[in-house]
């Protein structure tokens, strides 16, 4: 991973990160099939991770506090099952006004501010993720598709 990529994830806005990913994508000879999926997928993940980063409430899929948004953390959350779980964590946290299902200090969790979920929710619903019932599964083909999208993004960064 390039050093500038780490700086980008550490400090940039969602839009700035997306612009870099999109610019890299345009310099590659990727199939249009993949190029149509990379930016929306990245935007969906970053819409939540950047908000968590900016509120100093970033955590990994195990619920453990992480002080810096890195490309590696982005890829951990890009796992489609993890991303679905993140959506439910944020939805429940928005409803209660407190960050839930993490191992962050309770005083930090109580200072939680709602995170806009429309970008992530719209994205997940397009891929048959039931946003009403976390226990319901989605088609395995959607999981496999997103593994491919993650691999394309890794090649860009």
| Close Cβ partners of 102 (under 8 Å, ≥ 6 residues apart) | 57, 59, 63, 64, 65, 89, 109
Least confident of 23-37, 61-75, 99-113, 116-130: 23-37
Angle value at C-alpha 43, between 105 and 28, nearest 5 degrees: 130
pLDDT tens column, 55-100? 999 999 999 999 999 999 999 999 999 999 999 999 999 999 999 9
pTM, full prediction: 0.93
């Amino acid at each position: 991973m390039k050093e500038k990529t780490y700086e980008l994830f550490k400090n940039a806005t969602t839009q700035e990160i997306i612009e870099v990913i999109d610019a890299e994508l345009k310099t590659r000879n990727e199939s249009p099939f993949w190029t149509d999926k990379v930016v929306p997928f990245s935007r969906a993940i970053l819409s939540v991770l950047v908000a968590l980063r900016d509120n100093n409430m970033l955590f990994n899929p195990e619920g453990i506090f992480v002080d810096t948004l890195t490309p590696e953390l982005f890829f951990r959350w890009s796992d489609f099952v993890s991303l679905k779980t993140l959506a439910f964590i944020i939805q429940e946290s928005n409803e209660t006004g407190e960050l839930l299902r993490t191992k962050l200090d309770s005083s930090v969790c109580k200072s939680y501010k709602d995170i806009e979920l429309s970008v992530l929710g719209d994205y997940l619903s397009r891929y048959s993720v039931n946003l009403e019932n976390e226990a319901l599964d989605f088609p395995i083909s959607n999981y496999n598709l997103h593994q491919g999208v993650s691999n394309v993004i890794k090649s860009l960064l």
